[in-house]
Amino acid sequence: MTEKDFILKKTNLSSLNKGSFTWKSPSNIALVKYWGKSEPQIPKNASISFTLNNCHTTTSLEFSKKEKPNKDYSIQVIFEGEIKDNFKPKIKKFFKRIEKYIPFITEYDFVIKTKNSFPHSSGIASSASGMSALALCLISIEKELNPEITQEYLLKKASFLARLGSGSAARSIEGEIVVWGEHKNINNSSDLYGIKFPKKIHKNFNNYQDTILLVDKGEKQVSSTIGHNLMNNHPFAQQRFDQANDNISKLKEILQIGDLKAFVNLIESEALTLHAMMMTSNPYFVLMKPNTLKIIEKIWEYRKNTKSNICFTLDAGANVHVLFPEKEKEKVNLFILNELIQYCQNNHYICDTVGAGASQK
Ligand code: PMV
């Protein structure tokens, strides 16, 4: 599909005066990372992620026809019960990007009521779950205006719109493993939207666990926009994009044959490479904290001593995602509790698993 396929055809706008839709949409954790993009939110390499289950955003979108039509966006944002005018610029920027595809957004007054399942200051980015939940609410309006659209089109377009809000949000519509970015070895993959990993996944990866250790709950040190821009003129950029695409091919096999050892190796290398890109850009950043490294060392020690398949991955921050197969859950949870929680801010951590994607409420 091309970008043109997402432009809304004529609908009977007058048919819908007001209403409300609610969606719950998950966060996701990239296994092969997206870092570097070109306009408009086109990734420099394909990425692949686990959709999460417990970390999610629930958004209700109330809409009513404007009394006097105008070209402005009319938005009120209520986050966890409080009016948040400081959220508006980001949402208006998002609306500006998506107006071409859903022109009806200038016709309504919107009230966006949103909440996260994870604490606001946890260092967990809510942009993927937040933007995908909002995109799904907007797509529900389109479905109402144009009931002929299929579920398949609806999910693709939701991912397409979410991507224009935050790249990784394209991967937060469906579960359990999602690929975003055109890749020669993944049929039907696209730079425009995420797709479900198209092959059967080995049972070793069923219900995979992700325990998120909250090492630093502060605001992001480097915004996504600045972060992605670091890859322009980066001395290792092209090698990195090629490596990520190679890693997708490798991971495609690993996920099908259930090779946990190869998974551990690839996932940790991806995480460290993401951080290496930040350390070797100009300006340069170190986003890990001393406790991030302590946790990594402990994980390596535990793996050596027990032959566990535990591994870590990182986002663009200091928190650590500890990944492990469901069958190791009991033992690894004990290890996390006894040995790793001490490195978390206020001992805080979140237990999550791979999830099935967004759902309408
Ligand atoms: O979606 P963005 O623009 O916030 O970028 C996310 C980038 C990483 O989280 C670091 C990697 C990824 O693929 O999710």
What does R_g of the chain's alpha carbons equal in angstroms?
20
What does the pLDDT read at residue 181?
A: 98
Is residue 316 within 6 Å of ligand 1 at its C-beta? Answer: yes
Between the CA of 36 and the centroid of ligand 1 the distance, in Å, is 9
Banded pLDDT at 9 (limits 50, 70, 90): confident
User: 88 near 48, Cβ under 8 Å?
Assistant: no
Q: Check whether 121 has a pLDDT greater than 80.
A: no
What does the pLDDT read at residue 318?
A: 95
Among 25, 28, 34, the mutation site with the greatest number of ligand 1 atoms within 8 A of its Cβ is: 34
* pLDDT, mean of residues 124-133: 92
Q: Which of 153, 184, 199 is the last residue of a domain?
A: 199
Please give the structure tokens belonging to residue 102.
């859903």
For residue range 218-272, list pLDDT tens digits in order: 777 888 889 999 999 999 999 999 999 999 999 999 999 999 999 999 999 999 9
Domain total for the chain?
A: 2
> Both 150 and 226 in a single domain?
no
Q: Check whether 13 has a pLDDT greater than 70.
A: no
Between the CA of 197 and the centroid of ligand 1 the distance, in Å, is 18
CATH number at residue 291: 3.30.70.890
Q: Write down how long the chain is.
A: 361
Look at residue 167 and tell me if it is in a domain.
yes
Among 27, 28, 31, 33, the mutation site with the greatest number of ligand 1 atoms within 8 A of its Cβ is: 33
> Both 90 and 234 in a single domain?
no
> Both 140 and 157 in a single domain?
yes
Q: Check whether 111 has a pLDDT greater than 70.
A: yes
Domain interval for residue 68: 3-199
What does the pLDDT read at residue 14?
A: 64
> Both 312 and 251 in a single domain?
yes
Which residues, 6+ apart, have CB-to-CB distance to 301 below 8 Å? none
Between the CA of 128 and the centroid of ligand 1 the distance, in Å, is 8
What does the pLDDT read at residue 333?
A: 97
**Closest residue (by CA) to atom 6 of ligand 1?**
168
Least reliable range by pLDDT among 2-16, 96-110, 199-213: 2-16
For residue range 30-66, list pLDDT tens digits in order: 999 999 999 999 999 999 999 999 999 999 999 999 9
What does the pLDDT read at residue 17?
A: 92
Distance of alpha carbon 60 from the chain centroid = 19
Q: Cα(114)–Cα(130) distance, rounded to whole angstroms?
A: 8
What does the pLDDT read at residue 12?
A: 63
